[in-house]
Structure 1
């Protein structure tokens, strides 16, 4: 799947002009691009961790973020297919928890096993479900990584500091 959602109804082929890498839980039900997917094409993106950047002075410091438990995160997501050619996805984000706000103002909507089952159940009322899930998240742990993690010329992988 392509990492940003491209609406099935778009007359234009996928491009980065309206890149929708993430979708905000606050507007997912009102955005034309997300209304269909959130009701009918929900998904889970399993992630072992992700990199988030915090501006410190004039530099962006990357942090590797993972569940404090060390287990994979199950992130609420949606998918779409454009003209039976391009499959795309987006993850749902929400305001950061108090502890994570020191790194970034947004965070993924991560779900536990019971919440995953409800998220994937097409019988669930998505409006009520989103209200219940808002603010939910696995406890996150983060550590700084070498700034080269953001450099495409770096072929060494993630370097922990």
Structure 2
């Protein structure tokens, strides 16, 4: 599962990494939570031959996937993640897997480990070498009964690698830069053609830094939530999970 993440790169760094022609300015985001807007990159119209223009397009998307056929969101669960192993089979995700694959730039994510005495420890999980990464994502346009439209999205997850398996059994799928074009190509690349990309990150790619429970509250959005603390758990317990507080005050885009 991935329930919180960060995006700390500058717009220029993110645009360069994802081969976007330009990207509007925005501040660092240290504690991105469900239902807030997240940045997604999709493949747009193919540029003319010889053009140096990128065909990739940046979108602001509500983090929380809503299939187009859903009529009443009050009766539908908040889906922030999609299991990559079964997404192509699920009614909620199979159309997006075929037609609306996306990249979600990030600087890392948060996960929680829980012990038998119900104590929890939060971790800031980031690339050991720093920099920007891209989660595999799915997006879906959705409209309510009054015709108001918004784009929604989810992060694809897979089994955890050795770096974080002691914390949690799931992690986001990371798409490497060399595979961006293939992942985003929904015209010629069917889900079966890109299934090899839906795998855990290589060993030693991430480091897990214990942080305080400040990250549990969506109101805490400063860099202090990523400061290292002493771990307060002695024995990991893989099967237990601790969910962060659900957001009750969100950014006003949606």
How does the TM-score come out when normalised to structure 1?
0.90
Residue of 103, 115, 127 corresponding to 2:192: 127
Residue of 110, 113, 121 corresponding to 1:61: 121
Shift of 1:77: 0.2
**Of the two, which has the highest radius of gyration?**
2
Shift of 1:73: 1.3
> Which ranges of structure 1 fall in alignment gaps of 5 or more residues?
none
Matched with 2:92 is 33
How far, CA to CA, are the matches of 1:136 and 1:50 in structure 2? 14
How does the TM-score come out when normalised to structure 2?
0.58
How is 1:2-151 mapped onto 2 (pairs within 5 angstroms)? 2-12=62-72, 14-15=73-74, 17-56=76-115, 57-83=117-143, 85-122=149-186, 123-130=188-195, 132-137=196-201, 139-151=205-217
RMSD: 1.9
Change (3 A) 1:16 1:74: farther
Change (3 A) 1:140 1:10: same
Shift of 1:17: 3.9
How far, CA to CA, are the matches of 2:157 and 2:106 in structure 1? 14
Change (3 A) 1:150 1:116: same
How far, CA to CA, are the matches of 1:22 and 1:136 in structure 2? 15
3-state SS in 1 of match to 2:63: coil
How far, CA to CA, are the matches of 1:129 and 1:147 in structure 2? 37
Change (3 A) 1:62 1:11: same
Change (3 A) 1:155 1:117: closer
> Which ranges of structure 2 fall in alignment gaps of 5 or more residues?
1-60, 230-254
8 Å CA contact retained: 1:52, 1:63? yes
Shift of 1:124: 1.0
